[in-house]
Amino acid sequence: MRVLALTLVAISTLAATKAKLDPPKRAEKNGWIVVRLSGSPTELGRQHGLLLAPEIADSYRVVKAMLEHDSGHPWPFFRKAAEEVLWPRVPAEYRQELQGMLQSLQASGLQIDLWDLVAYNAWLELTPYYVSYYNDRNKVAGLTPPRSAPEHCSAFVATGSYTKDGRPVIAHNAWIDFAVGTRWNVIFDVSPASGHRFLMDGLPGLIHSADDFGINSAGLTITETTIAQFSSGFDPLGIPEFVRARHALQYADSIDTFAQIMKDGNNGGYANNWLIADRKTGEIASLELGFKHTVLQRTKDGYFAGANFPADPKILAEETSFDPHDSGSSANARRTRWDQLMAANKGRIDINLARRFLADSYDPIGKKTQPSERTLCGRNDLSDRGMKPWQTEFGPAGAVQNKAADATLMEQMSLWAAIGPQCGPTFSASRHLKRNPSFAWQKDLLKDLAKQPWTLFRSASSPATTP
């Protein structure tokens, strides 16, 4: 890990000053909860827990249930992994933040301890990554967890001749089970005592975005899409992915430093294709972070798109079971659609087009407009094909929220965001379960998910919206 520039004493002193300037604050707009956090690691955690305690309790309950169901392992299994595998490799700064949050949560009456909170923060790398490693190493029989990574998210970043003003534009929508996704509605405006101020979306109770979409005051904007059907391995001695992702957003000031932080101590958990924009230079990059192989591409004139396809031949062949020839798969269909949209709109891409792209419901395989798992605005809940092995037919999952920014917004530490899939009908939990009783086990977890308007969020200010 990169050595922090300030001692804990200096951090504490600076934190006290910043706290007076940036008091913790909570606001709500169009389905989003906006929280402003500032100060030392402990204070960031305490404020986080204080402002979001009810939401954290609810989200933790859902993630715990989904993790147990998807892995076949009981919660104590993940608590043990948190204590013995993850916690020894969490640096002091983030230990303090998690412990500060825990203090607020326990004071609010939530029955949770440190290992619950650490496992919750690491849930995306615990299954299937750690679970598959553990099952293979211990020859666990009788469990049927996913043997490879699911397909989460669609995103792009473009610059140069592809954008209207020649500067970077970036956008992302998050694909996840609706049970979790309906809770993924927080905008964090964080002013830490050490490192850069950052704005990110996230799930209540996580110290990282996990989604991931973030802008920092050093000029970087980052997002990612999961490498689908990834099954390369896991290093229990590596640094947890949730730590590296948070550290990179908070401390990186260039594409090179971001890539280095993500690569150092890579444990193989939650392997992603990271898309990066540096507004200072106009350069964009794609960091395809596997376990055995890492590929960094960069340009000042072009685009990179993410739709869960493994782009690098070595990562594809040696680290995944992905079939690049299955044109009808979700990832391949969306890759095709991204290429179509980039070519058709070269020289015109701006923040308005970026938002339109995330709402795109054209199926390039069926050659018709029909929201499904094959469209950028993902709706697996409407598909009779599913996204196997992650989702079966009509599985309640898809694009749950959306974010976009251009270089001007990046300079202002601002982003546009919208809750809910921007295509298709409102998701009704009761109606969906009535039609698809095989998902009845999610009855106490699912909530309705409706399209909300795009909303502009600015760092250190209340949310504002325009027509």
392/423 same-domain check: yes
| Residue 19 is assigned to a structural domain of this protein | no
278/411 same-domain check: yes
User: Nearest Cα to 204, choosing from 226, 221, 182?
Assistant: 182
| Residue 345 is assigned to a structural domain of this protein | yes
CB 404 within 8 A of CB 354: yes
Among residues 112, 138, 164, which one ends one of the domains?
138
Among residues 76, 103, 138, which one ends one of the domains?
138
**In tens digits, what is the pLDDT along the chain, a chain of 467 residues?**
433 333 333 334 444 444 444 578 999 999 999 999 999 999 999 999 999 999 999 999 999 999 999 999 999 999 999 999 999 999 999 999 999 999 999 999 999 999 999 999 999 999 999 999 999 999 887 665 555 678 889 999 999 999 999 999 999 999 999 999 999 999 999 999 999 999 999 999 999 999 889 999 999 999 999 999 998 889 999 999 999 999 999 999 999 999 999 999 999 999 999 999 999 999 999 999 999 999 999 999 999 999 999 999 999 999 999 999 999 999 999 999 999 999 999 999 999 999 999 999 999 999 999 999 999 999 999 999 999 889 999 999 999 999 999 999 999 999 999 999 999 999 999 999 999 999 999 999 999 999 999 999 999 843 443 32
298/403 same-domain check: yes
340/219 same-domain check: yes
Judged by DSSP in three states, 35 sits in strand
Q: At 130, give phi and psi (nearest 5°).
A: -70, -40
416/335 same-domain check: yes
Residue 91, C-beta contacts closer than 8 angstroms, at least 6 positions apart: 1, 243, 247
Q: What is the pLDDT of residue 150?
A: 83
Among residues 80, 105, 138, which one ends one of the domains?
138
Q: How many helices (H) and strands (E) does the chain have?
A: 15, 17
207/103 same-domain check: no
Q: What is the pLDDT of residue 2?
A: 39
CATH of the domain at 307: 3.60.60.20
pTM over 0.85: yes
Q: What whole-number distance in Å separates Cα of residue 209 and Cα of residue 433?
A: 30
107/162 same-domain check: no
| Residue 225 is assigned to a structural domain of this protein | yes
Which residues are bridge partners to 362 per DSSP? 369
User: Which domain covers residue 401, as residue numbers?
Assistant: 154-441+448-458
| Residue 287 is assigned to a structural domain of this protein | yes
196/121 same-domain check: no
Answer whether the bond into residue 128 is a cis peptide, omega within 30°.
yes
Q: What is the pLDDT of residue 231?
A: 86
Looking at the 3D structure of the chain, how many domains does it have? 2
